Amino acid sequence: MASEQLPAGWTLEEIRNVSGDREAIALGTDRDVTWQGWRAEGERLVPQIVLGFHGLCLVKPVNDDDWYMGSLNDDGSVDCWSAYSDLYQALRGL
């Protein structure tokens, strides 16, 4: 599996159009991702897809259909605080 990938059925241009961020990019998955939200706070997520939007990220974990929104930290790690069941809604939530 490539380190940087897009969600199935999505192009980078579509992601940029829906999110409104013309500089959105696919990021590598070799990073620590932690869930800081309502269930299992501090839980580590294993990222399958990571999309970057300046200081924010959307993370699609392995074995999970949800998309997690979070902050991209200076060390490349991500702290997630919100979850969406649909990528389109997650992109609009940025």
Q: Classify burial at 46, counting beta carbons within 10 Å of its beta carbon; exposed 0-12, middle 13-18, buried 19 or more.
A: exposed
Please check the confidence at residue 94 and state whether its pLDDT lies above 90.
yes
CA distance 9 to 94: 20
- Report the pLDDT value the prediction gives residue 79, as an integer from 0 to 100: 96
* CB 48 within 8 Å of CB 29: yes
pLDDT (tens digit per residue) in 26-81: 999 999 999 997 766 678 999 999 999 999 999 999 999 999 999 999 999 999 99
Q: CA distances (Å), 37 to each of 3, 20, 69, 91, in order?
A: 26, 25, 10, 18
